[in-house]
Amino acid sequence: MSDKTIVVITGANTGIGYEAVKAFLTATQPYHIFVGGRSPEKVESAIASFGDTGIHTLVPFQLDLLSDESITAAYEKISSEVDHIDALINNAGAATCDPPTSRASLLQDYNVNVAGTYVVTDVFLPLLIKSSNPRLLFLTSGLSSQEEAGQSNSPRYFNPPAGWPKAPGIQFLGYRASKTALNMVMIDFERLLKNDGVKVWCVSPGMLATNLGGNPELLKKLGAGDPSLGGVFIKDVVEGARDNDAGKVIQRGKVQPW
């Protein structure tokens, strides 16, 4: 085990998390990857789909970001098997497409993407800081950029006719706000962990055709890229390609404006 890079990935049975596992399996250096997801059956199925993993090891674990008990159980399982982890990849998340209609609907993405992710990080940090090269990644979004959201020439900026209430439409408001908050969570962990030698990023993979947006085929028609791009991006960050941009929100090839 000592010769393997130990990685924990949440939400890894589908989408970008799944593609990240696939990317790690192409590496010439060995990885020991804990593959997390809400459904144990789906995680096992995802692992089986990779077939022979060669020099790499895949280990399933159950994790529900809405359950502190689930998070604690995941930590206890992993800490019973390894004495440290080298990378914690907070990939699991939620995106509500519908306009918020109540306090509960506005908070549901926040509860997963911010509160749940914070608890996972807080619980797993004792293992991470024992690494000789610890890395902490948070999966954010281009929709989290406040600078771009406020620019009238942004393709994401829409100015509806006067009057209230506005006509219903897909807003992703809860998702966008939660990912903007997650960027702040990253900044705080970067500050707190600087003296522990932990490199921290928010990784913004770009618009990719995953189930997170509800309709991958529609996203492709809108120009979304293949999810594998996000998986390779995550692998590159873990392997040091963006060390000079630690503490920032990074996209492929650039730093995302705040």
Active site residues: 141, 175, 179
Q: How far is CA 93 from CA 27, 60, 79, 200, 243, in A?
A: 26, 18, 23, 18, 24
Q: How many C-beta neighbours within 10 Å does residue 109 have?
A: 23
Q: Where are the alpha helices (DSSP H) in the chain?
A: 15-24, 40-49, 68-79, 103-110, 117-128, 146-149, 173-192, 216-221, 228-238
Cα(257)–Cα(148) distance, integer angstroms: 7
For the chain, how many residues are written? 258
Q: How far is CA 153 from CA 2, 166, 223, in A?
A: 51, 21, 18
Cα(145)–Cα(208) distance, integer angstroms: 17
- 3-state secondary structure (DSSP) of residue 110: helix
Q: Quick one: tokens of 53? A: 């993993």
